[in-house]
C-alpha cells in the first residue's frame, strides 16, 4: 500500500517558443511555486479498478472497483466517499481498508519530482505520446533525497524514484509522467512498482487547470509470482467551496430561532432506535463498486420515547463499504453496508446504525457463535459460518455466490448507535 500524498498543479508556459530545454527546470520550479500558491481547492471523482494475475498467466482477474471523492483542500489531498457531505481526516487506505491503493496520483507527484532540488534531469528529445508530438525528459531522484513511501504492512520504507515526463511543445502542457520506484528494500517483498499518469486541461472555477486524466499502477511481488494493476480514472472535477450565509436582522426581526416540532428539530437520529427496512434495489457484489450508493425503505415507523421519528416509507441512504469474495467453506461474497442518513419529508438526518439481523433468504449464510458438530435428520442442508467479527456502524452480509444478486426486498433490522455522526472505521 502506498502512503505518500503528492501535489499536482497547472503546468503553464515554462519553455521557449522553440521548445528548447536549456532553462526548463529552473523556470518550471519557479513557476510551480507561484502556481501552487494560487491553485483553488477542488475535487474529482476517482474510480479505481483493481485486477491481478499470476506470473504464468496472461489474463488479469478482476479484484474490485472503488469509487471515492478526492479533493485538494488547503493544499492537502483528502478522500471521502462520493455521497459524503464533507471530507474527514481518514487516509485512502483507512477508507478502503484492504488491498493495494496509491495516493499522490491526483495531486502530488509533480511537486515531489520538480520541486526537490536534488532531482537530476536529462533531456532526451522528441517522441509521440497519444498521437501528440511531445518532448521527453528523463529524471532521477535518489532514495536519500526522496519522500516517496511504499507501505506493505507491517513494514514501510522510503524509496527512490526515476522515470520520464513528456510535454507538448505546441501547448506547453504536461502530457505524461512516468514514476518508477527504485532501491526497494527486500523486506517489503516487492520487486517492482511503476505508475503511469496522463494529463489534460479541465476547468476549475474560472481557470483551466492541468489535471490527471487517468493513471495506471503496476506492482510485482518479490518472487514475481503475482502482478497487481490499478487502473485509475478522474472525472467530474469542480471547485470546492464552503458557502455560508450571514444575515443581519433588522430592528423588527427576532433573534430567537423558531421552535421546531417533531423530527424537524433533530439534526441526527436518536440512539438505540430500531429501524426495520427493506432493500430498495438489487446489489450485484460481483459488479458493484466500493462506495456505491445503497438505498433502503422503512417498513415500520421508527419510534423513540413514544414519538415517531421517521414514518413508514422513509428512505434510508447508505453505501457499500466492503466487497470481498471468499472461497471457504464455499464461494460466497462478503458485502458490507453502511447507512449514513435517513430522509424524512425532504429533510435528511445523520444516521449511525449497526445491523442486527437480515433475511430470511436462501442465499444468506447465517453466522453462528459456534458450530454444532451434531448432525440430525432435522438439520438443514444449508451451511452456517462462524462469526469472525462484530461489525459496528455497518452490516455485513455473507451471500452465497451461486446467487449473483442480493435481491430488492431483503429485510434487515438495524439499531442506531450512540453517535449518529460517527464515520465508518
Query: How is 170-229 classified by DSSP, letter by letter?
Result: TTTEEEEEEEEEES--GGG-EEEEEEEEEEEEEEETTEEEEEEEEEEEEEEETTSSEEEE
The pLDDT tens digits along the chain (425 residues) read: 444 333 322 233 333 334 445 576 776 666 666 666 666 788 889 999 999 988 778 888 888 999 999 888 877 888 999 888 788 778 888 888 788 888 877 667 877 888 788 999 888 889 999 888 998 989 999 999 998 988 887 888 999 999 999 988 777 778 899 999 999 998 888 889 999 999 888 888 778 887 888 999 999 886 777 899 999 999 888 888 754 333 334 434 443 333 334 444 566 788 899 999 999 999 999 999 999 999 999 999 999 888 999 999 999 999 999 998 888 778 899 999 999 999 988 888 888 999 999 989 989 887 654 445 444 444 444 444 444 455 668 899 999 999 999 999 999 999 998 543 333 33
| In the block, residue with C-alpha cell 520506484 | 181
pLDDT of residue 118: 92
CB-based contact 309:263 (threshold 8 Å): yes
pLDDT of residue 223: 75
pLDDT of residue 59: 86
> Dihedral of CA 420/335/105/42: which sign?
negative
What is the CA angle 212-216-217, rounded to 5?
120
CB atoms within 10 A of CB 11: 24
**Spatial CA neighbour of 70 closest among 191, 312, 235:** 235
What pLDDT digit, counting tens, does each position of 229-243 carry? 999 999 888 888 754
SS (H, E, C) the chain: CECCCCECCCCCCCCCCCCCCCCHHHHHHHHHHHHHHHCCCEEEEEEEEEEEEECCCCCCEEEEEEEEEEEEECCEEEEECCCCCCCCCCCHHHHHCCCCCCCCCCCEHHHHHHCCCCCEEEEEEEEEECCEEEEEEEEEECHHHCCEEEEECCEEEEEEEEEEEEEECCCCEEEEEEEEEECCCHHHCEEEEEEEEEEEEEEECCEEEEEEEEEEEEEEECCCCEEEEEEEEEEEEEECCCCCCCCCCCCCCCCCCCCCCHHHHCCECCCCCEEEEEECCCECCCCCEECCEEEEEECCCEEECCEEEECCCCEEEEEEEEEEEECCCCCEEEEEEEEEEEEECCEEEECCEEEEEECCCCCECEEECCCCCCCCCCCCCCCEEECCCCCCCCEEEEEECCCCCECCCCEEEEEECCCCCCCCC
Q: Distance between CA atoms of 423 and 85, rounded to whole angstroms?
A: 12
Which domains does the chain carry?
24-239 (2.50.20), 265-416 (2.40.128)
What pLDDT digit, counting tens, does each position of 143-175 carry? 999 989 888 878 889 999 999 999 887 777 788
**Strand 61-73 with 76-80, pairing:** antiparallel
pLDDT of residue 55: 74
Cβ burial of 334 (10 Å; 0-12, 13-18, 19+) is: middle
* Helix runs in 115-174, H state only: none
The contacts of residue 189 (CB under 8 Å, 6+ apart) are: 152, 221, 222, 223
What pLDDT digit, counting tens, does each position of 367-424 carry? 654 445 444 444 444 444 444 455 668 899 999 999 999 999 999 999 998 543 333 3
pLDDT of residue 48: 94
pLDDT of residue 41: 81
Q: Distance between CA atoms of 237 and 209, rounded to whole angstroms?
A: 10
pTM over 0.85: no
pLDDT of residue 210: 78
Amino acid at each position: 500500500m502506498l502512503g505518500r500524498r503528492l501535489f499536482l498543479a497547472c503546468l503553464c508556459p515554462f519553455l521557449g517558443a522553440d521548445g528548447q530545454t536549456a532553462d526548463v527546470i529552473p523556470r518550471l520550479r519557479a513557476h510551480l511555486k507561484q502556481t501552487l500558491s494560487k491553485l483553488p481547492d477542488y475535487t474529482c471523482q476517482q474510480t479505481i479498478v483493481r485486477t491481478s494475475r499470476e506470473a504464468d498467466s496472461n489474463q488479469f482477474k478482476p479484484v474490485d472497483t472503488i469509487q471515492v471523492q478526492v479533493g485538494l483542500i488547503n493544499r492537502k489531498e483528502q478522500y471521502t466517499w462520493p455521497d459524503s457531505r464533507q471530507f474527514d481526516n481518514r487516509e485512502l487506505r483507512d477508507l478502503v481498508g484492504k488491498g493495494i491503493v496509491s495516493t499522490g496520483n491526483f495531486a502530488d507527484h509533480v511537486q515531489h519530482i520538480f520541486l526537490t532540488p536534488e532531482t537530476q534531469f536529462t533531456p532526451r528529445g522528441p517522441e509521440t505520446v497519444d498521437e501528440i508530438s511531445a518532448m521527453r525528459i528523463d529524471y532521477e531522484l535518489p532514495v536519500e533525497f526522496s519522500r516517496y513511501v511504499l507501505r506493505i504492512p507491517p513494514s514501510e520504507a522510503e524509496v527512490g524514484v526515476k522515470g520520464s515526463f513528456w510535454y507538448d511543445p505546441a501547448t506547453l502542457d504536461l502530457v505524461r509522467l512516468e514514476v518508477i520506484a527504485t532501491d526497494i528494500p527486500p523486506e517489503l517483498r516487492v520487486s517492482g512498482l511503476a505508475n503511469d499518469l496522463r494529463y489534460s486541461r479541465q476547468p476549475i472555477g474560472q481557470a483551466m487547470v492541468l489535471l490527471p486524466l487517468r493513471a495506471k499502477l503496476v506492482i510485482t511481488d518479490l518472487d514475481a509470482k503475482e502482478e497487481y494493476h490499478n487502473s485509475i480514472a478522474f472525472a467530474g472535477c469542480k471547485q470546492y467551496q464552503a458557502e455560508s450565509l450571514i444575515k443581519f436582522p433588522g430592528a423588527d426581526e427576532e433573534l430567537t430561532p423558531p421552535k421546531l416540532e417533531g423530527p424537524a428539530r433533530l439534526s441526527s437520529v436518536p440512539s438505540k432506535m430500531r429501524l426495520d427496512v427493506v432493500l430498495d434495489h438489487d446489489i450485484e457484489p460481483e459488479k458493484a463498486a466500493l462506495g456505491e450508493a445503497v438505498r433502503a425503505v422503512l417498513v415500520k415507523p421508527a419510534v423513540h420515547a413514544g414519538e415517531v421519528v421517521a414514518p413508514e416509507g422513509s428512505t434510508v441512504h447508505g453505501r457499500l463499504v466492503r466487497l470481498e469474495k471468499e472461497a471457504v467453506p464455499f464461494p460466497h461474497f462478503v458485502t458490507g453496508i453502511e447507512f449514513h442518513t435517513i430522509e424524512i419529508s425532504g429533510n435528511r438526518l445523520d444516521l449511525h446504525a449497526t445491523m442486527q439481523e437480515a433475511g430470511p433468504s436462501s442465499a444468506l449464510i447465517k453466522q453462528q457463535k459456534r458450530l454444532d458438530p451434531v448432525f440430525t435428520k432435522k438439520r438443514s442442508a444449508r451451511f452456517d459460518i462462524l462469526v469472525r467479527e462484530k461489525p459496528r456502524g455497518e452490516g455485513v452480509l455473507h451471500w452465497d455466490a451461486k446467487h449473483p444478486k442480493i435481491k430488492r426486498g431483503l429485510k434487515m433490522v438495524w439499531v442506531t448507535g450512540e453517535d449518529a455522526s460517527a464515520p465508518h472505521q
